[in-house]
A and B are shown apart, each in its own frame.
Chain A
């Protein structure tokens, strides 16, 4: 494991996190953060799709004509998403129903396309796959943090198991969509207080 590979793997988790630093892929992410379980499945799906499609595009990179590359990339990503969706439908039907259209929306998730454009088109297959996996993981991390707070405060449970005492009155506001954004804002706040060089002027 050399230095460069290590950097490829670790950078997207915190320092160059796709959501809080690059602002990519927020689209489909927040709606699945009401419960930790859904968020974990979503995070896993994105990691798989991101890693595999980076790998495939990187393998094809010398034979894709530049003009039609967007369509080729979309087809590759869509193929991976269909695979993930079919697997979920077969083995975790309830979760698939709960995630509804958001699994399909991984296709247009900017992280996947962004990493393909920025990394996989110009690098060898293995580093590209690692880059895809790491970016998916950085994305999943934020999803899981948001989901943790939303499920804990909104229903007093984690993974469906009661954690807070029964006397805790669930805060219904946290379950509603706007609070996901506000929690995300707080995460950005915390990260930028630690990493001062990210602050905007």
Chain B
């Protein structure tokens, strides 16, 4: 039951885009049409789902204060948490690189549709943000971290596909010249965020 609650919460209430503005750059840059938006969204879900549990284990067994106690008594009070930024980003960058190579080798069709987005994802704030939030919230086990990753990935995907659909329609409407493009997109995202705020306070 807690898993379902966490899942729904991370999609709607704690939406990466609307509540935390994570991954905004690629969100605005790659939302001009639904098809590419969909591709990037799926790539984000996938990378989040893989790196977050990985970083969870890293945090639990290497970084937390006292996490190294499995190495023996002498390491029981070592606190490496100041290294977390550099290790998390290294895991993410390395993982993205590996995934890119594997997909290129074995799934060329998927590569041609996702390929260009994969390198972008290494510097997508949503991924690193997910890991940092995971560290802050102190999830109880790896499963919770994975559920949170899946939920926030789906939330991000939902947001980018929705924005892309709106922007496709927006092309046919009359927007004041200075607002065209970037300006109106900001406002649309703001309005979408307000709509998403109606989910606030939901608990299952």
Contacts from A to B (Cβ < 8 Å): 20, 23-31, 70-71, 74-75, 78-79, 81-82, 85-86, 100-101, 104-105, 107-110, 113, 176-182, 184-186, 188-193, 196, 199-201
How near does chain B come to A78, taking the closest CB pair, in angstroms? Answer: 4
**20 additional contacts (CB under 8 A) given A28-B125, A104-B85, A178-B194:** A23-B28, A26-B28, A31-B20, A31-B21, A71-B90, A75-B90, A78-B85, A81-B85, A85-B85, A104-B84, A105-B128, A108-B127, A108-B129, A110-B123, A180-B190, A181-B193, A185-B185, A185-B190, A186-B183, A188-B179
In the complex, number of A-B residue pairs with CB atoms less than 8 Å apart: 142
Contact B187 A26 (CB under 8 A): no
Complex Cα–Cα for A70 and B86 (A): 14
In the complex, which residues of chain B have a beta carbon less than 8 angstroms from the beta carbon of A177?
18-21, 193
- In the assembled complex, the Cα of A28 lies from the Cα of B129 at a distance in Å of 9
Given A27-B21, A27-B23, verify A188-B128 contact (CB < 8 Å): no
Q: Which residue of A lies closest to B126 (CB)?
A: A27
Q: List 29 A-B contacts (CB under 8 A).
A: A23-B182, A26-B21, A26-B25, A26-B28, A27-B22, A27-B125, A31-B21, A70-B119, A70-B122, A74-B89, A74-B122, A104-B128, A105-B125, A176-B194, A177-B19, A177-B193, A178-B189, A178-B191, A178-B192, A178-B193, A179-B190, A181-B193, A185-B183, A185-B185, A188-B178, A188-B182, A193-B178, A200-B180, A200-B181
